Structure 1
Amino acid sequence: MTIAIGRRALPALGLAAAGAAQAQAQWNPTRPLTIVVPFPPGGSTDVTARALAERMVPLLGQNIVIDNRPGGQTVIGAEAVARAAPDGHTMLMSSGTTLTINPLIGRNLPYRPEDFAPVLHVATLPFCIAVKPGIPDTLEGFVAHVRANPGRVTWGHNGRGSFNHIAGALIADRLGLDWQDVGYRGDAHQMTDLLAGTLDSVLVGGATGLALARTGRAKIIGWTGETRLPNLPDQPVFNEIWPGLVAITWFGLLVPARTPPAAVARLNAAAGAALAEAAVRDRLLNEGIQAAGGTPADFQAFLTREAERWRPLLRRLDIQL
């Protein structure tokens, strides 16, 4: 699915906008840009891409098309960008699944991390656990319930090898849980099953979990971040009860390798300026997404650290895509 985001007037953005203007002298997009999102519309990755793109349009002077290409555990969308012309007009809104998890567990992937040039670390996203009525609605109570019913409590995720599947595997490994995982192609079907009562719990991204909780038919009992979200101070994190139990995915903009440095610099400046806007940061936070930022080099260093952090667990558990 492709959706174009058009231009509209925006107020000045201070120093970040000045950085974009400086980069503009070196590279200008000559046609509408595309951000490929390797997930269906409506999820956390898609929400992040749209929030950012809307504010980048006036800075870049071109419309931005959001091109949703779900499938293959994000491989389809990532491959499309890896093979795109390295001219700055095609970007990937990647998640941790695409460039942290897949390269560690996938065999014969049609892309490599080296096929992309980092632009901006956009955001981080903890996962939340939501449960159906009748299941203990505290983290301690839920864990005790799973331990008391080995192999009987079900939890949904987005398929083997997805980041929320890996996060669930980490939780089970750390806490010694035997719970029955059920893979889905996306969020919609597992939400339907949870609301119907045929699924006991889900481990999903913030946008999905918060929308679910607002229905009143399921309850978020905790998050996998390092600390509580500032806009949800009453909802605990695993890390408070079991120190070090943290599982956070990420979102970031990348372009094909060999994209001119001037194009990368301007895209970084424009995306960074957009991300610096309070309206954008608040919009993301309302979906459980926390804005990041920085330089392309900062993003590359983060990607290296994430691969090093997850590699030992994935090797030990022998999880394969």
Structure 2
Amino acid sequence: MKPIRALALVAATLTALLACGAQAQQHTSAEADWPQRAIKLVVPFPPGGGTDAVARALAQKLATRLGKPVLVDNKPGASTIIGTDSVVKAEPDGYTLLVSGSTSYTVNAALRPKLPYDPLKDLAPIAIVAKAPLVLVVNASSPYKDLGALLAAAKAQPKSINYATFGSGSAPHLVGALLEQATGVRLQDVPYRGSAQAMMGLIGGEIQLAIDTVASAAPHVKAGKLRALAIAGNDRSKALPTVPTMQELKLPEAAFDGWYAISAPARTHATILAKLQKEVDAVMRDSGMQEQVRNQGMEPVFIGPKPMAAAMEDEIGRYRALAHRAQIVVE
């Protein structure tokens, strides 16, 4: 090789190496300096309801700690798939995050073979931030004073009890199906866009039953508009302490425990994830935040990324088996 060509090759190589180094340094600086602009929390439900309440409380506290705006972006539809998919496809730079319930993280993955993403692979867990029990409620003027009376009516006349869901495969739909499996009754599911619409449908007499979070239903119960029949989980709710659980009603097969969590797109840099985990942990230790969450009928927690991932994997397997036994098929 001629000396001039050799020198040109060395110069080109050095230029490329310097450019790569500068680019790497730029990326490292961007990750270390995160956040530099507003952060978006995508909520795959309409405004109102438990998910939205958790996201807005998180947004307020995180904005104060991070010194940047944290905005809530409601993207409802398709049993939370539209909003969740938008986060999965977002740039993994820490500026687009998902706040949703276990429907997005486990139920859809268990029931929907054609889901356009895999939450175990396409989302980076940050933390479970609240436990959110579901409750079965009827209109306060309903003739059903307890769950036994409602089930007796459903058994006598199959499909006569209409109940609200957030679409096929949503958590309320799964609880309804599990209740059918456990008792032998047949209910009729009616899809609504979100909690607020379902509650109004029940209060307005469009449906006879709703299965929703305590956060969404408890204010209406306390206002005398709705009557709570049962907590869908295994533990009583502090917001509705007199309402029995499925376990107490001898229906453990119908039990379902809900929760809310925050996550990022997969491939988000570890530096950003670590900072998010630290800040979310600090927010959930804040007494004001804990009071806000409890006032919404939930229990504040901080369950970090590794146990959150383990819980997701466990629930997907468990709900998939339950769906198979209950013959729940969601396309």
TM-score bracket, shorter-length normalisation: 0.7 to 0.9
Gaps spanning 5+ residues in structure 1: where?
A: 1-24
2:57 is the counterpart of 1:51: yes
- 1:192 positional shift: 3.0
Of 186, 194, 198, the match for 2:202 = 194
1:176-227 per-position Cα deviation (integer Å, ceiling 9, x unaligned): 2222222222234433332232321111122221232244232112211211
Of 130, 146, 152, the match for 2:137 = 130
* Residue of structure 2 in register with 1:307 after alignment: 316
Q: Confirm or deny: 8 A CA contact 2:110 2:317 kept in the other structure.
A: no
* Residue of structure 2 in register with 1:265 after alignment: 274
* Residue of structure 2 in register with 1:31 after alignment: 37
- 1:45 positional shift: 0.6
Report the residue type matching 1:125 in the other structure: A
1:218-250 per-position Cα deviation (integer Å, ceiling 9, x unaligned): 211221121111242212111112253421222
| Cα distance in 2 for residues equivalent to 1:206 and 1:231 | 7
- Tell me which moved more, 102-111 or 292-301: 102-111
Of 218, 229, 238, the match for 1:221 = 229
Q: Confirm or deny: 8 A CA contact 1:127 1:223 kept in the other structure.
A: yes
* Residue of structure 2 in register with 1:69 after alignment: 75
Q: Confirm or deny: 8 A CA contact 1:125 1:249 kept in the other structure.
A: yes
2:110 is the counterpart of 1:119: no
Q: Confirm or deny: 8 A CA contact 2:43 2:99 kept in the other structure.
A: yes
Q: Confirm or deny: 8 A CA contact 1:135 1:200 kept in the other structure.
A: no
2:238 is the counterpart of 1:233: no
* Residue of structure 1 in register with 2:104 after alignment: 98
TM-score by length of 2: 0.84
Report the residue type matching 1:280 in the other structure: M
Gaps spanning 5+ residues in structure 2: where?
A: 1-30
SS of structure 2 residue aligned to 1:131: strand
SS of structure 2 residue aligned to 1:239: coil
2:166 is the counterpart of 1:166: no
| Cα distance in 2 for residues equivalent to 1:206 and 1:315 | 27
SS of structure 2 residue aligned to 1:73: coil
SS of structure 1 residue aligned to 2:79: helix
* Residue of structure 1 in register with 2:15 after alignment: none
- 1:160 positional shift: 1.3
- 1:31 positional shift: 0.9
| Cα distance in 2 for residues equivalent to 1:101 and 1:182 | 18
Of 75, 80, 89, the match for 2:86 = 80
Poorly superposed stretches of 4+, deviation over 4 Å: none
- Tell me which moved more, 103-112 or 153-162: 103-112
Please say which structure displays the higher CA radius of gyration.
Answer: 2
* Residue of structure 1 in register with 2:185 after alignment: 177
- Tell me which moved more, 116-125 or 145-154: 145-154
Q: Confirm or deny: 8 A CA contact 1:103 1:109 kept in the other structure.
A: yes
- 1:46 positional shift: 0.7
Give the paired residue count.
298
SS of structure 2 residue aligned to 1:80: helix
Distance 1:274 1:315, change over 3 A: same
- 1:134 positional shift: 3.1
- 1:105 positional shift: 2.4
- 1:87 positional shift: 1.4
| Cα distance in 2 for residues equivalent to 1:257 and 1:38 | 18
* Residue of structure 1 in register with 2:8 after alignment: none
Counterpart mapping for 1:239-250 below 5 A: 239-242=247-250, 244=252, 245-250=254-259
- 1:33 positional shift: 0.9
Distance 1:100 1:51, change over 3 A: same
Q: Confirm or deny: 8 A CA contact 1:28 1:60 kept in the other structure.
A: no
Aligned residues: CA RMSD: 2.0
Distance 1:79 1:134, change over 3 A: closer
Of 275, 283, 286, the match for 2:292 = 283
SS of structure 2 residue aligned to 1:307: helix
